[in-house]
Amino acid sequence: MKPVPLCSAQSLARLAAFREQIGMPVPAPLSRERIRTAVLPLVTGVRLWEDTALATSDPGVALRVTTGARVVDSPLGCDAARAPTVGDGLAAAAAASSRYCSGQRVWITVAGDDVLVHRCFPPEIRRGRRQANDFALAMIIDLVRCGAGSDWRPERLLVEGPPPAHAEELAALATGTVDFRAAADTIVVPREILALPLQAPERRLPEVTPLPTDDFEGSVRRAIATLLEIGELTLPALAEVTGTSARTLQRRLALSGSNFGRLVDEARFDAARRLLQDDDISVTDVAAELGYTDSANFTRAFRRWAGVPPLGFRRALGTE
């Protein structure tokens, strides 16, 4: 069974900053305190792009978000910016892409005097796909610009899917031909550019912990933890981020020796233990954070998990 595609929260840092700037809510995993270490289901991360596009009535919002952005400000840039040449940087970006977004695929092919840099998401990623693709395109183009100059644009660009509402803006990324309805976004780079020294600006982004290598159940646990934190933990929501139906998800969990209810209990217990370590958060607030409408129900559940009530757990920690 394939694991759930995940993405580093840091890969959405520019989006989080933009949402904060325009007054849109920033989900807890994208907060300044959590963004370097948090992991999201890829479906959830990409959907934030669509939410932003709808809220701003701007299908090309990702191109606005990338204004002033540099590849060295993204997790991809942590690896690519160390490379000596443009070609080495592109190869490093392709090799590292799945370390920060396990559902993303970046690969390079050669056609005569051109090198083609391809990138795509798996087909189950739908909502917000074009906006997330736009951001990735801009980051790869910026990587080439670190050697070819800040004004460089590809002569040819292939864009996945039919022309979107902001097709003219995408076409402006290239100096020549832009072909829509491609199988994947593709940037055509002349081979002569690959040997240019990569002169990336100084990296400002701290090192980002790569995604762990998870099996199916492990990645589902991570997805549940995120959905719990953002208040969207239901079986249909979890099925959506796994790219399957609720019935199929339950069957796969059963084959791995688990079930939805047990994994939710474990996620709530883990989150409860973390939250209870902060004595500024009341037990009532912890219960609400975990989706309980009645703190008494949370207390009973916690006693079942830990053998002691929440306040007893706190006293044992010395935080009460």
Q: How far is CA 26 from the centre of its chain?
A: 14
Asked whether 155 and 141 are in contact (CB, 8 A), the reply is: no
Q: d(Cα 119, Cα 198) in Å, to the nearest integer?
A: 21
Amino acid at 220: V
Query: CA separation (Å) from 172 to 136, 138, 144, 308?
Result: 16, 12, 17, 62
Q: Which residues of the chain have pLDDT under 70?
A: 78, 201-210, 212-214, 318-320
pLDDT of residue 35: 86
**pLDDT value, residue 206:** 57
Tell me how far apart the alpha carbons of residues 199 and 167 are, in angstroms, rounded to a whole number: 31
Tokens of 176: 């020549």
For residues 151 and 164, what is the distance between their CA atoms, to the nearest angstrom?
25
Q: What is the pLDDT of residues 38-87, one digit of tens each?
A: 889 999 999 999 999 999 999 999 999 988 777 777 777 767 777 899 99
pLDDT at position 10 = 87
Q: Please report, in angstroms and rounded to a whole number, the separation of the first and last CA atoms in the chain.
A: 44
pLDDT of residue 278: 87
Catalogue all structural domains in the chain, each as residue range(s) with its CATH number. 59-195 (no CATH), 216-317 (1.10.10.60)
Full-model pTM: 0.85
Cα–Cα distance for residue pair 74/281, rounded to 1 Å: 33
pLDDT in tens, 298-313: 999 999 999 999 999 9
Asked if residue 185 lies in contact with residue 158, where contact means CB atoms within 8 angstroms, the answer is yes
